[in-house]
């Protein structure tokens, strides 16, 4: 296994999970250091039980400046910092991204000028934000991996795409909560890259069914997550910069301030159907700049570097499936 080197955490402290031989341990990260934390330090038997405790982060904060079994962060291999039981994903949730997509379609299929198409699309999105609802679909928790694992690109397609996203990590169980209550159920945030196989999104054998998110988004390792889980109070989720570089070239560069439905709206809406459990992931959508836009998809040897303000950096290396 190749150890991935991560830049220093750009926040006061966070949780991470790291490999210790064949085991995975939970660690407290502060700057360029990490120390193991167990049930005694957590005040809970495991990570998800800790996240359900509104006082948990305060206990860990007290360890940051204490002596203890600290070691260098770059001496360990970090893996996914969460263990969700449910993964919910949000589609079409960045205003400028969706406007671009709708306007491009209208320009190609109608007599509207680009300016008219964009104006029409912008009004559609503003009406949707005011009167519509978020669009959710379900991901497979088994796809959640750390960036210590290479992304194996399945050989059945050549159009595997990236979608860097801010991921909400649920704290206290949330069931039919209001927007005003929603943020009190958010324990923290992490980075997720929602990998998508574009030619599997729409069913070819029965177009009336529509999208097939299971096949398009749920191959092994298709949800690289982490490397850090940062407390919600240390992150400005309403205006965090989201950036993805492919082999050093910037492909996505936006801010969560462009979300059509903000984090309280997403948590509230998602909780109306099914209880959101401690540790669950709720992805907030991806900004413009996917491979579909650039007409450039993932290849063997590619390196994706994704960063979100306050959450550090994720480095994912791509390999052909037969080279895994």
Print the domain residue range for 53: 14-79
Q: Is residue 123 part of a domain?
A: yes
Q: Is 157 within the bounds of a domain?
A: yes
Q: For helices 95-109 and 114-131, give the axis angle rounded to 10 degrees.
A: 130
Residue 195, in any domain of the structure: yes
Q: What is the pLDDT of residues 160-185, one digit of tens each?
A: 999 999 999 999 999 999 999 999 99
How sure is the predictor about 4, in pLDDT bands with cuts at 50, 70 and 90? very low
The pLDDT value given to residue 6: 55
Q: How many domains does the chain have?
A: 3
The SS3 call for residue 60 is: helix
CA count, 13 A, side-chain hemisphere, 201:
11
Predicted pLDDT of residue 2:
41
Instruction: Give the span between the Cα atoms of 26 and 63, in whole angstroms.
Output: 14
In a domain, 176, yes or no: yes
Residue 12 burial (C-beta neighbours within 10 Å; 0-12, 13-18, 19+)? middle
Q: What is the CATH number of the domain that holds 242?
A: 3.90.850.10
pLDDT digits (tens, 9 = 90+) for 23-70: 999 999 999 999 999 999 999 999 999 999 999 999 999 999 999 899
Q: For 191-232, how does the pLDDT look when each residue is reduced to its tens digit (9 = 90+)?
A: 999 999 999 988 888 877 788 999 999 999 999 999 999 999
Which residue did the predictor score with more confidence, 151 or 10?
A: 151
Instruction: Judge if 284 and 143 occupy the same domain.
Output: yes
Are 182 and 282 in a shared domain? yes
Measured in degrees and rounded to the nearest 5, phi and psi for residue 298 equal -70, 140
Question: 307 and 272, same structural domain?
Answer: yes
Which residue do the tokens 């037969």 mark?
322
Q: What percent of the chain has pLDDT over 90?
A: 76
How is 208-267 classified by DSSP, letter by letter? Answer: GG-B-HHHHH-STT-EEB-S-BEEGGG--TTS-EEEEEETTEEEEEEEGGGBSS-HHHHH
Say if residue 112 is in the same domain as residue 140: no
Tokens read off for 213: 């998110």
Instruction: Provide the whole-model pTM.
Output: 0.92
One domain for residues 289 and 142: yes
The answer as to whether 65 is a domain residue is: yes
Confidence band, pLDDT 50/70/90 cuts, at residue 319: very high
Are residues 104 and 187 part of one domain? no
Per-residue pLDDT tens over the stretch 65-92: 999 899 999 999 999 999 999 999 998 8
Helix, strand, coil distribution of the chain in percent, nearest 5: 30, 30, 40
| 1 domain residue, yes or no | no
Structural Rg of the chain based on CA atoms: 20
pLDDT at site 287: 94
* Rounded distance between C-alpha atoms, residue 106 and residue 118, angstroms: 9
Please report, for residues 12, 115, 224, 238, 297, the alpha-carbon distance to residue 305 in angstroms, rounded to integers and kept in the order given.
22, 34, 11, 22, 15
In this structure, the answer to whether residues 157 and 199 fall within a common structural domain is yes
Residue 187: CB atoms within 10 A of its CB come to: 28
Q: Do 52 and 100 sit in the same domain of this protein?
A: no
Residue 306's H or E segment, with its range, is strand 303-308
Mean pLDDT of 146-151: 96
Q: What's the burial of 201, exposed, middle or buried (CB within 10 Å: 0-12/13-18/19+)?
A: middle
Whether 175 and 209 have beta carbons less than 8 Å apart is answered as no
């Amino acid at each position: 296994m190749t150890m991935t080197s991560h830049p220093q955490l750009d926040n006061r402290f966070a949780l991470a999970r790291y490999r210790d031989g064949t085991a995975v341990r939970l660690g407290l990260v502060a700057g360029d250091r990490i120390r193991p934390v167990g049930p005694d330090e957590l005040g809970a038997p495991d990570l998800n039980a800790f996240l359900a405790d509104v006082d948990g982060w305060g206990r860990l904060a007290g360890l940051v400046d204490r002596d203890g079994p600290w070691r260098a962060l770059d001496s360990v291999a970090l893996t996914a910092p969460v263990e969700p039981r449910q993964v919910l994903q949000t589609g079409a949730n960045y205003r400028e991204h969706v406007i671009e997509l709708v306007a491009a379609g209208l320009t190609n299929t109608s007599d509207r000028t680009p300016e008219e198409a964009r104006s029409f699309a912008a009004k559609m999105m503003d009406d949707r934000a005011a009167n519509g609802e978020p669009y959710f679909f379900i991901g497979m928790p088994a796809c959640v991996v750390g960036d210590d694992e290479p992304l194996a690109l399945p050989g059945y397609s050549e159009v595997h795409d990236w979608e860097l996203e801010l991921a909400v990590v649920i704290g206290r169980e949330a069931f039919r909560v209001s927007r005003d209550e929603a943020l009190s159920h958010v324990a923290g945030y992490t980075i997720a890259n929602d990998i998508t196989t574009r030619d599997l999104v729409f069913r070819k054998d029965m177009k009336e069914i529509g999208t097939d998110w299971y096949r398009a988004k749920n191959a092994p390792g298709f949800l690289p997550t982490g490397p850090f889980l940062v407390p919600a109070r240390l992150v400005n989720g309403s205006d965090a910069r989201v950036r993805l570089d492919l082999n050093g070239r910037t492909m996505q560069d936006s801010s969560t301030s462009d979300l059509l439905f903000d984090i309280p709206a997403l948590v509230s809406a998602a909780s109306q159907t099914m209880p959101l459990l401690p540790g669950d992931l709720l992805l907030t959508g991806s900004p413009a700049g996917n491979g579909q836009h650039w007409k450039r998809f993932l290849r063997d040897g590619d390196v994706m570097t994704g960063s979100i303000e306050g959450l550090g950096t994720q480095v994912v290396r791509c390999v052909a499936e037969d080279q895994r």
